[in-house]
């Protein structure tokens, strides 16, 4: 069966997705998933100018197998078409039979935010009271929802601050979510700082950060792209996947930062965090997250049928 986005939206919730993603990260770091690096093809127009990219992400995990194809075309932003689009095929591991093909855009949006929520729950200091969001797009909105789901203190009035290179967008997001729009220095001083921007060079500087803050970096996926400067990257670095971060994150590659642990290792109690200093979590996205979400969707709808 084909499952469109509106059906996915009706059944996929952070209540079910966040714990499922937490377990998927533990399973990945325990070596229980077969997940090769994603293949990325750069797309050019007839004149040879780059317009976007096309990626293929397969995985075998648990009782299922799956593959996500995803595209990113930044030029779509002015046309009413989402910049990120995706399709996920889900198959039964035991037989290889197809279970469902589904739209992957909302799944990508929600699983990315769910990973960050798991990271905040595991890595933020217990007394964290303020959340800073750098960015004002789809991921900024979903991150506010997902992180507030696991961290009640951020639901208090005035706890969330947002910044965008477009002040109008920052004000609109603040009005929509009850946050406060502010300068980048003010937002960066929060206890937890999330970067969900389309930046290609560092916009978050370490000199603005609180000494024991947590930075959750989601944007700038690409070996030459960065959101964070070297001072930010000098913090205690945790990633989803060493292989992914050391291959696809310009923040990691270009800073020469040393990966201390995978998030799944921390969650499983196989890696420990220092009590002092800044923590940095770098997310690049993994197929096991997409397939985990897709299996939740398929299970919910198959049961209803």
Query: Options 3.40.50.720, 3.40.50.300, 3.40.50.150, 2.60.40.1480; which CATH number does 125-285 get?
Result: 3.40.50.720
pLDDT digits (tens, 9 = 90+) for 271-302: 999 988 999 999 999 999 999 999 999 999 98
* Domain positions in the chain: 2-107+288-304, 125-285
Residue 297 backbone phi and psi in degrees, to 5: -65, -50
E-strand spans in the chain? 2-3, 33-34, 39-44, 50-61, 64-72, 84-92, 98-103, 131-134, 160-163, 180-181, 192-195, 214-217, 236-239, 259-262, 279-282
Task: Report how far residue 58's alpha carbon sits from residue 67's, in angstroms, rounded to the nearest whole number.
Answer: 4
Asked if CATH classification 3.30.1780.10 holds for the domain at 2-107+288-304, the reply, yes or no, is yes
pLDDT computed for residue 84 by the predictor = 85
pLDDT at 305 over 90: no
Mean pLDDT of 220-235: 93
Region for 116 from its dihedrals, namely left if φ exceeds 0, alpha if ψ lies in -120 to 50, beta otherwise = alpha
Coil/strand/helix, residue 250? helix
> Residue 49 contacts by C-beta under 8 Å, 6 or more apart in sequence?
none
């Amino acid at each position: 069966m084909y499952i469109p986005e509106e059906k996915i939206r009706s059944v996929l919730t952070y209540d079910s997705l966040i714990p499922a993603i937490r377990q998927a990260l533990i399973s990945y770091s325990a070596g229980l998933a077969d997940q090769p690096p994603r293949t990325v093809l750069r797309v050019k127009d007839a004149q040879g100018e780059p317009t976007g990219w096309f990626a293929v992400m397969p995985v075998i995990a648990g009782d299922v197998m799956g593959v996500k194809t995803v595209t990113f075309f930044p030029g779509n932003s002015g046309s009413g078409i989402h910049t990120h689009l995706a399709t996920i095929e889900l198959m039964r591991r035991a037989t290889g039979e197809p279970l469902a093909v589904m739209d992957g855009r909302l799944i990508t949006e929600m699983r990315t935010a769910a990973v960050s929520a798991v990271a905040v729950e595991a890595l933020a200091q217990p007394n964290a009271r303020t959340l800073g969001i750098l960015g004002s797009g789809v991921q900024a909105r979903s991150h506010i929802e997902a992180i507030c789901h696991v961290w009640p203190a951020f639901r208090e009035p005035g706890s969330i601050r947002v910044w965008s290179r477009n002040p109008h967008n920052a004000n609109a997001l603040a009005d929509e979510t009850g946050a406060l729009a502010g300068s980048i220095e003010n937002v960066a001083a929060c206890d937890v700082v999330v970067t969900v921007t389309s930046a290609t060079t560092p916009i978050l500087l370490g000199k603005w950060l609180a000494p024991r803050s947590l930075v959750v970096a989601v944007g700038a996926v690409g070996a030459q792209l960065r959101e964070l400067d070297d001072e930010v990257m000098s913090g205690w670095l945790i990633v989803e996947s060493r292989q992914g971060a050391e291959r696809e994150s310009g923040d990691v590659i270009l800073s020469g930062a040393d990966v201390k642990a995978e998030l799944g290792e921390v969650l499983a109690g196989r890696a420990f965090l220092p009590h002092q200093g800044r923590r940095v979590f770098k997310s690049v996205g993994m197929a096991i997250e997409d397939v985990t979400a897709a299996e939740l969707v398929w299970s919910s709808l198959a049961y209803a049928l």
